[in-house]
Chains A and B, each alone.
Chain A
Amino acid sequence: MTENPELAEESSMPEKDILAEIDAVDELPTAPPKRRVRLSWLGKASAAIVALWLVICLIGPSIAPFHEMDIDGDDGFMGYHTNEYGTFYLGTDYLGRDTLSRVIYGARNTIGISLASTLLAYLIGITLGILAAVKGGWIDMGISRVNDAILSLPTIMLGLIAIAWLGSSIPVLVGTASIIYASSVFRIARALGQDIMVQDFVEAAKARGEGVWWVIRSEVLPNAAMPLATDFGLRLVFVVLFISSLSFLGLGVQPPAADWGSMVRENLQGLPYGSYAAIWPALAIATFTIPINLIVDDISAKSGGSLASKMV
């Protein structure tokens, strides 16, 4: 055993202060700084690029040098050249239309359709997912099994069947994409909802006698919102790629309307001749989807990676 008399009294705090501190009931933890999502420089750059694309969606037709359907170029698959109609900065496509203008016009179709589809998918997926989580029992069982069936089918095959049956138009595209992607949103919303439903504060609301609607609106949704929002970005990318692949197969947006996926397909034959006409729309897809992914990564890293565990 040791004796350390010199160590016995070494506190720098007077005893009185310590007792006062313990007794102070209103002693508060310092309020944490407001939780702002601070993006890294990569995230900021990505956000700028995505914002640029959204602006192009809005004002595209007024800044495009040509109309998407005008065949003004000297020839198909030309590089940079100028003629009496104007300058073709990114060359022409297989029909001699201006590639730059078509990429600008195509932004509207591709981004517009995928945004609409993703929003619709979220509406359907969250509604059913939260409903299944809150209600449980047969409702959950019924919706979940139908959902499993949809999830088990390859997305492109499902899209092909729907379009072969209903024909290709923008409403059919949006509808098909949203139903296909609603199934994965459903899975996430249901998993999140189930996690939240077993929390004590939901139990407390139930014990108070609150109705289902109030529990969903006030207890479940606010707590599911952040992870769902992070997932939204990711899902949007999938839809862009889905629409582009359908267009690549010739089943998406129909010619002569421009859309990035179909532009890649149309101009593929130019690649052996050194034409970049297929590369530019592909780059457009990449510069829209990759930054969105980077933003999502950034946000989920900041929210402690809890999203990753929710991903099904």
Chain B
Amino acid sequence: MQKEKLVEVKDLKINAKNDDGDVIPIVKGVSFDIHKGEVVALIGESGSGKTTISLASLAYTKPGLYFAGGELLVDGEDMLKAEPLRTREIRGSKVAYLAQSAAATFNPAITIGEQVTESAVLHGLLSQNEADKRAVELYHALELPDPERIGFRYPHQVSGGQLQRLMAAMALCGKPDLMVLDEPTTALDVTTQIEVLKAFKKVIHEENSAAIYVTHDLAVVAQIADYIVVLYGGEVMEQGNADEIINNPGHVYTQRLMAAVRPKPQAGLGSSVGVEHEREIPAIRITDMTAGYGGIVNGEPKIPILRDVNVSVKNGHVVGVIGESGCGKSTLARVMAGLLPQARGTVELDAVELDGDLRNRKLEELQKIQFVFQMADTALNPKQVIGDIIGRPLEFYHGLKGKQKHAKVVEILEMVELPADFASRYPMELSGGQKQRVNMARSLAANPEVMLCDEVTSALDSIVGANVIKLLTALRDKTGVSFVFISHDLSTVASFADEIVVLYAGRVVEQGPTDEVLTPPYHPYTRLLISSVPELRLGWLEDTMQKREMSVGIAKDVEITSVGCPFFNRCPIGIEGACEKQNPPVRDLSSGHQITCHRTIEELEAVEFEVQKALASQNADEALV
């Protein structure tokens, strides 16, 4: 069936002009079409021009850029030639834009309903009454809770995933011909991502609107796109129907992108640890620790984040800490570093108890525990050159000065695979991946025993992030440093850590060696996390949504409880009357593998067996069909 063409991009060229008047081509002649009701994915790494192209369909360029040639027809009208007044009519009515961060898009002082209907009413497409009705319809379609009344709430009163879906309602309210979605799920947890993807897919299908979906994640694209355009450096590498590109990529770059897709987290991915750095005592150990914010009253934090956490990091090992945002991952690292004194419990370094407050810790203790911050952009002082940034811990902890210091800085730069002349550069003059390397080099310069890495790869492109992981592995093998590796991305953790700690609502629900944690029996939450990681396969989303843990566990708020199992409200196998009333017992499995659950190991195994059986019968059905 040949559908009607909605958008025609013909040889689109967009250039940038810098202060010196040099012209830098950003988009170098890109052509593709979008038909009505079709989702076209623009995929590529940062700098590939994907966002620039998508914004061009709104007749917009970022400051400093300009249209240099070609055509971009939406319904036969060339967006590149639109007059300023006309662009106002187009944006929000004909073409709507969904930004990456819904939290930044919504005005916190205005109710959601008003903001969702605003552009439709402003453009005179609908009256306020009609728009309100339409909004409620959309809330239903997007499967938002309490659709009749959610519009009266304020943005902070709904969860991140709900806000992201509400942004889709905002874009769709005026029935645009084309929606532009700019990485709408990239910043979300895997469990939230599924919920949002599912809603987007449904509503795009029901509204029959066309969409441009911008992302760097092929696995997400496989779930939602009909047609894929692969971009690199402002040029089209390859384009074609989704199944073609996914199942039979023609271009090496596409293949490279596919290789960088996170593998399904499973046993056997974790790297094994050499024994040369083994020691009897753990490098760092946390016992019965409770911590939170807002000061401590009667030994309890006012806003508790972590409860009764026991974690131990062996020398030369990598402990991955994983969980959804807000589960207390970063808080755990901050307690270890002494940035946040715990309310109860102890932190030990080499079996010596540490003071909770880093100001009372000895210099030597500070040197042995190093914190690597998440965002290299803000973690490096923009007014210091790289040599000073890396040199400071050398001087501070080890008293190195002058030539000695410089020689060591060069050595450390080499360790993180950066050239020596970087020492005289400012952070601004480095790329994102390079900054992250400097960020780690600074911690490395202290010659630590434990490095606490807080989401160090989360802000990086998949290929750059994979390189950083490679580097970390090499560093561990070379220096015997222990790592506490915090991430919300289970696949990254699985590929790097040899032990995993799964946190949920501030409690450890499961921990143990990577291979053990990632093989059944699972804690129900671990299973939810594993099933939520998107696979590079068409139809994966639909298959996953069939699973029982999804129907129970997705699109629910995390409840932080002081008594009982916090996961109870999302658990498919919860025991009414027990789980929400008593703290679950810690059940020991083989070799340090622990699951904190009311269900016995046998019961959890039985659940796995049922799942396997269901999958097998499903496969048999498919075989019959």
Q: Is the CB of B339 within 8 A of A8?
A: no
B251 engages A15 (CB within 8 Å): yes
Q: Could you tell me the distance between the alpha carbons of A11 and B238 in the complex, rounded to whole angstroms?
A: 8
Q: What are the residues of chain B within 8 A of A32 when measuring CB–CB?
A: 428-429
Measured between beta carbons, the chain A residues less than 8 angstroms from B361 are 209
Identify 18 residue pairs between A and B in the complex whose beta-carbon atoms are under 8 Å apart, listed by A's number: A3-B240, A3-B241, A4-B33, A7-B236, A9-B251, A10-B31, A10-B236, A12-B235, A13-B233, A15-B252, A19-B253, A22-B256, A25-B417, A25-B433, A200-B375, A204-B373, A209-B363, A222-B384
A18:B467 contact, CB within 8 angstroms: no
Task: Point out the residues of chain A lying under 8 angstroms from B378, CB to CB.
Answer: 199-201
- In angstroms, Cα B374 to Cα A13, docked, is 35
Nearest CB on B from A120, distance (A): 26
Task: Please pick, from A8, A12, A204, the residue contacting B442 in the complex, using a CB distance under 8 A.
Answer: A204
* A25→B467 contact, CB < 8 A: yes
Q: How far is the CA of A8 from the CA of B428 in the complex (A)?
A: 37
Interface string of B24-53 (1 = CB under 8 A from A): 000010011101001000000000000000
In contact, B429 and A200 (Cβ under 8 angstroms): no
Select B358's contact among A7, A11, A206, beta carbons within 8 Å: A206
Is B354 in contact with chain A by the CB < 8 A criterion? no
Are the C-beta atoms of A15 and B467 separated by less than 8 Å?
Answer: no
Q: Is the interface of B mostly helix, strand, loop or mixed?
A: mixed
Q: Within 8 Å of chain A (Cβ to Cβ): is B540?
A: no
Would you list which residues of chain A between 204 and 224 have a CB under 8 Å from chain B?
A: 204, 206-210, 218-219, 222-223
- Contact between B238 and A8, CB atoms less than 8 A apart: yes
Are the C-beta atoms of A207 and B337 separated by less than 8 Å?
yes
Flag A1-32 by CB within 8 Å of B: 1 or 0 each: 11110011111110100110110011111011
* A154 contacts partner chain B, Cβ-Cβ < 8 Å: no
Contact check: which of B226, B239, B359, B419 meets A8 at CB < 8 Å?
Answer: B239
Do A222 and B430 touch across chains, with their CB atoms under 8 A apart? no
- The 9 tightest CB contacts between A and B, nearest first, are A222-B383, A200-B379, A209-B366, A200-B378, A201-B381, A200-B373, A15-B252, A31-B429, A207-B371
Once the chains are docked, how many angstroms separate the CA of A1 from the CA of B1?
A: 7
Contact A209 B396, beta carbon cutoff 8 Å: yes
Give min CB distance, B393 to chain A, whole Å. 6
List chain A residues, Cβ under 8 A from B396. Answer: 208-210
Residues of chain B within 8 A (CB-CB) of A4 are 32-33, 239-240
CA A9 – CA B466 in complex, angstroms?
Answer: 28
Distance in angstroms between the alpha carbons of A210 and B397 in the assembled complex? 10
Q: Report A127 CB to chain B, min CB distance, Å.
A: 20
How many Å from the CB of B338 to the closest CB on chain A?
7
Contact pick for B381, options A11, A15, A222, CB 8 Å? A222
| Bound CA span A206–B442, Å | 14
Docked-complex contact B339 and A203, CB < 8 angstroms: yes
Task: Tell whether, in the assembled complex, residue A209 and residue B373 are in contact, meaning their CB atoms are under 8 Å apart.
Answer: no
Q: Chain B residues near A27: list those with CB within 8 A.
A: 431
- 1/0 per residue B235-263: CB within 8 Å of A? 11111110000000011110010000000
From B226, B370, B378, B428, name the one whose CB has the most chain A CB atoms within 10 angstroms: B378
Query: Is residue B425 within 8 Å, beta carbon to beta carbon, of the partner chain?
Result: yes
Q: Please state if A208 and B227 are interface contacts (CB–CB under 8 Å).
A: no
Could you say which residues of chain B place their CB within 8 Å of the CB of A10?
31, 235-236
Interface string of B480-520 (1 = CB under 8 A from A): 00000000000000000000000000000000000000000
Whether the Cβ atoms of B373 and A18 lie closer than 8 Å is no
- How far apart are the CA atoms of A18 and B30 in the complex, in Å? 17
Bound CA span A200–B253, Å: 35
Q: Indicate if the CB atoms of B419 and A223 lie closer than 8 Å.
A: no
List A residues 35-56 near B (Cβ within 8 Å).
none
A272 within 8 A of B: no
Q: Which of B338, B374, B381, B467 contacts A207 (CB 8 A)?
A: B338
In the assembled complex, A137 has its CB within 8 A of some CB on chain B: no
- A33 within 8 A of partner (CB): yes
Per-residue CB proximity of B363-389 to A under 8 Å, as 1/0? 100100011011100111111100000
Size category, A interface: 35 or more
In the bound complex, residues from chain B placing their C-beta under 8 Å from that of A206 are: 339, 358
Find chain B residues with CB under 8 A from A18 CB: 232-233, 237, 252-253
Residues of B with C-beta under 8 A to A2 = 33, 35, 227, 241
Q: Would B467 and A204 count as touching, CB distance under 8 A?
A: no
CB distance from B503 to the nearest CB of A (A): 21
Residue from B239, B379, B419 within 8 A of A26 (CB atoms): B419
**Which residues of chain B have C-beta atoms less than 8 A from A13's C-beta?**
232-233, 235
Q: Which residues of A contact B (CB under 8 A)?
A: 1-4, 7-13, 15, 18-19, 21-22, 25-29, 31-33, 199-201, 203-204, 206-210, 218-219, 222-223
Give Cα A10 to B370, complex, Å. Answer: 48
Closest partner residue, chain A, to B242 (CB atom):
A1
Q: Is B418 an interface residue (CB 8 A)?
A: yes
A contact residues around B442 at 8 Å (CB)? 204
Contacts A31-B425, A208-B446 known; 7 new A-B pairs at CB < 8 A = A1-B241, A32-B428, A32-B429, A206-B358, A207-B366, A208-B392, A209-B366
Whether A203 and B373, one on each chain, are in contact in the complex, defined by CB atoms closer than 8 angstroms, is: yes
Decide: A207 and B252 in contact? CB cutoff 8 A.
no
B552 — which chain A residues lie within 8 A by C-beta?
none
Is there a chain A Cβ closer than 8 Å to B19's Cβ? yes
Query: In whole angstroms, how far apart are the Cα atoms of A4 and B8 in the complex?
Result: 13
Partner among A8, A25, A29, A31 whose Cβ is within 8 Å of the Cβ of B250: A8
CA distance A18 to B237 in the complex (A): 10
Q: Once the chains are docked, how many angstroms separate the CA of A199 from the CA of B19?
A: 29
Cross-chain contact A7 with B32 (CB below 8 angstroms) = yes
Cβ distance B37 to chain A, nearest Cβ, rounded Å: 11
By the criterion CB–CB under 8 Å, are A218 and B384 in contact? yes
B280, CB-defined interface residue at 8 Å: no
Question: In whole Å, how far is A1's beta carbon from the nearest beta carbon of chain B?
Answer: 5
For A199, the chain B residues whose CB sits under 8 A away are: 378
Partner of A201 from the list B338, B370, B374, B380 (CB cut-off 8 Å) is B380
Residue in chain A with minimal CB distance to B446: A208
Asked if B83 is at the interface of the complex by the 8 Å CB criterion, the answer is no
Please report the C-alpha to C-alpha distance between residue A10 and residue B256 in the assembled complex, in whole angstroms.
Answer: 18
The answer to whether A223 and B236 touch across the interface, beta carbons within 8 angstroms, is no
A176 vs B33: C-alpha distance when bound (angstroms): 71
Chain A contacts of B425 at CB under 8 A? 31
* Chain B residue with the shortest CB-CB distance to A219: B381
Pairwise interchain contact A19-B252, C-beta atoms closer than 8 A: yes
Return B260 CB to nearest CB of chain A, in Å.
10
Nearest A residue (CB) for B28: A12
User: With A2-B227, A204-B373 given, is the CB distance from A33 to B252 under 8 Å?
Assistant: no
Q: Which of A10, A15, A21 lies at the interface centre, i.e. has the most chain B CB atoms within 10 A of its CB? A: A10
Tell me the bound Cα distance from A3 to B3 in angstroms.
12
Of all chain B residues, which has the CB nearest A30? B429
Q: Which of A12, A33, A222 contacts B20 (CB 8 A)?
A: A33
- Minimum Cβ distance to chain A for residue B137 (Å): 29
Question: Which A residues touch B611, using CB under 8 A?
Answer: none
> Which residues of A are found within 8 Å of B358, using beta-carbon distances?
206-207, 209
Q: Are A1 and B226 interface neighbours, CB within 8 A?
A: yes
| Shortest beta-carbon distance from B501 to chain A in Å | 21
Give the contacting residue for A11; candidates B237, B431, B467; CB below 8 A. Answer: B237
Which of A8, A19, A209 is within 8 Å of B256, CB to CB? A19
Residues on A with C-beta less than 8 A from B238 are 8-9
Distance in Å from the Cβ of A226 to the closest Cβ of chain B? 9
**What residues on A are CB-neighbors of B606 within 8 Å?**
none
Q: Which of chain A's residues have a CB closer than 8 A to the CB of B392? A: 208, 218
Beta-carbon nearest neighbor of B359 in chain A = A209
Taking the closest CB of chain B, its distance from the CB of A240, in whole angstroms, is 31
Assembled-state Cα–Cα distance A1/B240 (Å):
9
Within 8 Å CB of A22, what residues of B? 253, 256, 463
Alpha-carbon separation in the docked complex, A203 to B431 (Å): 22
Give, as a whole number of angstroms, the nearest-CB distance from A29 to chain B: 5
B339 and A207 contacting across the interface, CB-CB below 8 Å:
yes
In the bound complex, what is the Cα–Cα distance between A209 and B375 (angstroms)?
A: 20
B393 and A208 form a contact (CB under 8 A)? yes
- Also in contact, A8 and B240, with CB within 8 A (given A22-B463, A223-B383): yes
Using CB atoms, name the residue of chain B closest to A196. B381
Instruction: State A32–B24 Cα separation when bound (angstroms).
Output: 14
